[in-house]
Amino acid sequence: MATATATNTNKSVLWDWLTTVDHKKLSVLYLIAGALFFLKAGAMAIFMRIQLMSPENTFLSGQTFNEFVTMHGTIMLFLAVTPLIFAFMNFVIPLQIGARDVAFPFVNALGFWIFFFGGLLVSVSWFFGGAPDAGWTAYVPLSGGEYGDLGLDFYVLGLQVSGLGTLVSAINFIVTIINMRAPGMTMMRLPLFCWTSLITSILIVFAFTPLAAGLALLMLDRIFGGQFFNPGSGGNPVLWQHIFWIFGHPEVYILVLPAFGIISEVIPAFSKKRLFGYTAMVFATLIIAFLSFMVWVHHMFTVGIGPITNSVFAIATMAIGVPTGIKIFNWLFTMWGGKLIFNTAMLCASSFVPTFVLGGVTGVMLAMVPVDYLYHDTYFVVAHFHYIVVGGIALGLLAGTFYWYPKMFGHMLNEKLGQLMFWMFYVGFHMTFFIQHILGLIGMPRRVFTYLDGQGMGTMNLVSSIGAFMMGAAMVVLLINVVYSAYTSKRITVRDPWDARTLEWATTTPVPEYNFAQTPQVRSLDPWFYEKVHGDGTMKPAEPMDEIHMPNGSILPFCIGLGLFVWGFGMIMMQMENPLIPEWIVIGAGVIVTFGSMMLHSIHEDHGYHIPLDKIKKTEKEVS
Amino acid sequence: MSDDLSKPFSKSALTHEELLKINRERKIQIAAFACMIFLTLLAFIAVAMDMIAPGFTIPFILLLAVVQFALQLFYFMHLKDKDHEWPNAFMLTGIVVSTPALIALILLLGVTKY
Ligand code: HEM
Ligand SMILES: [Cu+2]
């Protein structure tokens, strides 16, 4: 990257990436880490579909299947989709609000490395007697000390660590969006992606804290002999379900809201129209966020909490359909009468709308308590949330990838391969998951590793598996596309290859490390579009050209993440039969590295550096 | 951005008035803290004394808790200050979101154990 060569004259590339605090490079790190986890969890999905392809298959053992189910869900939600949305949030938010970086660049790097090492901690469970196998929801008592093996300790501590990283990053984004907006960028001129990211970050703060508490309780139960979830000693296993879903339902919105945001950027850009009903979109997002905390019991209808409670939560759940519907109609009206351009990004974004509607409809169906007794824990639920997670979030992320790729990497992705990928993915997706609705309705339970012949499930499972292979192939096409485009695509030198509307397209490509040589003055919603139409096609500066103050890179975030990894691993060693070294040494080492690095950061004065004026002028001339 | 970043903040970036204001703030904080300790003491006494009936103690300490909570928010978390709209919004959101959840949990866990 051009930005990398501009700053370091004598450091190695690896060192540069390990110590970077630049939001654009962290975004690339998030993208790579998220993509790797995504591939890993995707491969597990393919293995599971091979196992389910025919009745009484013996490709995987039941135990391995359980481990795959658990790791697939856990990785996809916590370690693949979360970093992928963080990748876009990191890259896009500062550019869209006209800032030079996030509010706390150091914390940004810290969030990444803590997340990364937490993910690593969950992942190394394979080498120590097997992965967690109690489902991504880890219900007690299955996940408690009595039944859960060492894998569950990796689940508990790994998620605790990676959740910390997610929390710090979210706080950073909240502060960034509230405090770092360019002059004139009022809240009601904030691009919708920033709005949904803000709300997502708020949801993370309010939802990941209960998760951290729940995981801490489970850890106390498992490692330190606590009895929170043990009914024999006065504990209560249902408490875990409550805590988990108080986190869990907001979590699904944490993931889908940024996808909403991406769609709300891509659709106007390729409809050549402003977003229909901007204000309604903002308030719908707020209402969804609020309601998402009021519906968690819909995951527990069959626990037996009682008809009144179930009804209240059923109605609250159905209420979410209203703001969601507002959003759907706004996207449709944005496209209505627009000059539509169907490239890959727009294909993904526009097909997001109908698939998401299907997922929403089955969601409301699930919210009806009497029939949920039929649907619950069948493939119908699996189909429901995959319509949201794959047909919604994954398509949103693909749209975002194709849309922002030229800004991030300086060249476009190949369109032909892109559209091939889209169609394979889209057809494969519906093949895999539509038929699972029916499988669920005829009674196939979820999270089972096989089924009998003669139950009428063979053919449908085969179709589902073939669809899954198509989706897998589509992902391979995407990978080929990335490599192929890197070698063959034309470098982009213009600012705005899509003729888009928001501020990130006002920066030069490649984006210099300081983003904006002069902070822009924002005069309208869609400021870049406004200047193209009503102004002279350039952003008005809000300040004179001057030196720019930048933060220094630091290896400490990496060290803190590593320290937490070692610390967590030490705690897990307390449960091992014969650890090679005493666990206290490992725990101690982790604690010392973690807090030592924090100490170092506190006492070591580092005021960053200034980019001198002539250097800025030179860079600006080079890129424009 | 101030040029003398190595100096303590009070020397490099604060005017005399701001310093005065901070000192006044400090006094208020200490007063609020003393007040809260006093309330906590009351709560302890109410619980520890056999003389006081539980029928009185429980509503009484709940009331104390509410007062303490308000004091915490207004004085320690600066809810009373000007230009604190964003923090206020966040704190209120937190209360609005967590209160129903807590009430629901207390009620529901009483009904079904497992
Ligand atoms: C209109 C909006 C929605 C409604 C009414 C709804 C309703 C429901 C209900 C009632 C269940 C529980 C089914 C059962 O276990 O019996 C459920 C499960 C689930 N939903 Fe949704 N949902 C909605 C949107 C979403 C969104 C946006 C996501 C993800 C981004 C999502 C992801 C999930 C997941 C992952 C599960 C399964 C959890 C598990 O048991 O592992 N849902 N949904
Ligand atoms: Cu839910």
Of A38-42, A605-609, B77-81, minimum mean pLDDT range: B77-81
Any idea where the domains of chain B sit in the sequence? 15-80, 82-114
Tens-place pLDDT, residues A320-341:
999 999 999 999 999 998 899 9
For A236, the closest of B93, B101, B113 (CB atoms) is B113
Measure the CA–CA gap between A229 and A219, rounded to whole angstroms: 11
Asked if B9 reaches chain A (Cβ–Cβ under 8 Å), the answer is no
Answer whether A154's CB lies under 8 Å from A572's CB: yes
Answer whether A107's CB lies under 8 Å from A168's CB: yes
Tens-place pLDDT, residues A290-325:
999 999 999 999 988 888 889 999 999 999 999 999
Please name the residue whose Cα sits nearest to atom 16 of ligand 1. A376
A366 lines ligand 1 (CB under 6 A): yes
Measure the CA–CA gap between A488 and A583, rounded to whole angstroms: 52
Asked if A304 reaches chain B (Cβ–Cβ under 8 Å), the answer is yes
Provide the whole-model pTM.
Answer: 0.90
What phi and psi, each to the nearest 5 degrees, are found at residue B15?
A: -85, 170
**Number of neighbouring beta carbons within 10 Å of residue B19:** 12
Measure the CA–CA gap between A304 and B112, rounded to whole angstroms: 7
A298 lines ligand 1 (CB under 6 A): yes
Of A220-224, A585-589, A594-598, B16-20, minimum mean pLDDT range: B16-20
- Nearest alpha carbon to residue A125 among A624, A576, A522: A576
Looking at chain A, the number of H-run helices and the number of E-run strands are 21, 4
For residue A411, the SS3 value is: strand
Compute the half-sphere exposure of residue A78: CA atoms within 13 Å on the CB side of its CA: 34
Contacts of A304 in chain B (CB under 8 A): 112
- Which amino acid is located at B90 in the chain? F
Tokens of A583: 């666990």
Tens-place pLDDT, residues A156-215:
999 999 999 999 999 999 999 999 999 999 999 999 999 999 999 999 999 999 999 999
CB contact under 8 A, A306 and B112: yes
CB contact under 8 A, B114 and A293: no
pLDDT band at B10 (very low <50, low <70, confident <90, very high): low
Of A314-318, A429-433, B8-12, B31-35, minimum mean pLDDT range: B8-12
CB contact under 8 A, A605 and B94: no
Query: Which residue of chain B is at minimal alpha-carbon distance from A293?
Result: B97
Measure the CA–CA gap between A563 and A598, rounded to whole angstroms: 10
CB contact under 8 A, A236 and B94: no
pLDDT at res. A2: 38
Angle at A120 (CA atoms; ends A115, A126), nearest 5 degrees? 150
Measure the CA–CA gap between A289 and A297, rounded to whole angstroms: 16
pLDDT reading at A506 higher than 80: yes
Tokens of A69: 């189910």
Contacts of B114 in chain A (CB under 8 A): 231, 236-238
Helices (H), A389-536: 395-409, 415-441, 458-488, 527-533
Contacts of B93 in chain A (CB under 8 A): 202, 206
Answer whether A167's CB lies under 8 Å from A202's CB: no
Pocket test for ligand 1, best of A251, A379, A384 (most atoms within 8 A of CB): A384
Tokens of A305: 């909490």
pLDDT at res. A10: 55
Answer whether A521's CB lies under 8 Å from A451's CB: no
Measure the CA–CA gap between B94 and B96, rounded to whole angstroms: 6
Put simply, the chain A residues between 245 and 264 with a CB less than 8 A from any chain B CB are 246
C-alpha distances in angstroms, A99 versus A23, A88, A516, B3? 11, 15, 7, 22
CA torsion A264-A270-A273-A278 (nearest 10°) is 0
C-alpha distances in angstroms, A364 versus A222, A324, A332, A395, A477? 37, 11, 21, 22, 35
Tens-place pLDDT, residues A20-64:
999 999 999 999 999 999 999 999 999 999 999 999 999 999 999
Is the pLDDT higher at A437 or at A608? Answer: A437
Residues composing chain A: 624
The alpha carbon of residue A316 and the mean position of all alpha carbons in its chain are separated, in whole angstroms, by 25
**Number of neighbouring beta carbons within 10 Å of residue B18:** 11
Tokens of A558: 């990496």
Tens-place pLDDT, residues A352-368:
999 999 999 999 999 99
Domains of chain A: 13-554+606-623 (1.20.210.10)
**Number of neighbouring beta carbons within 10 Å of residue A61:** 11
Distance from CA of A16 to the nearest CA of B (A): 26
Answer whether A331's CB lies under 8 Å from A267's CB: yes
Contacts of A305 in chain B (CB under 8 A): 108, 111-112
Pocket test for ligand 1, best of A137, A388, A446 (most atoms within 8 A of CB): A388
The alpha carbon of residue A157 and the mean position of all alpha carbons in its chain are separated, in whole angstroms, by 20
Contacts of A290 in chain B (CB under 8 A): 96-97
Answer whether A608's CB lies under 8 Å from A550's CB: yes
Query: Which ligand 1 atom minimizes the distance to the CA of A372?
Result: 16
Tokens of B98: 């967590």
Measure A306 CA to ligand 1 centroid, in angstroms: 20
Residue A408, C-beta contacts closer than 8 angstroms, at least 6 positions apart: A24, A27, A28, A31, A91
Distance from CA of A305 to the nearest CA of B (A): 6
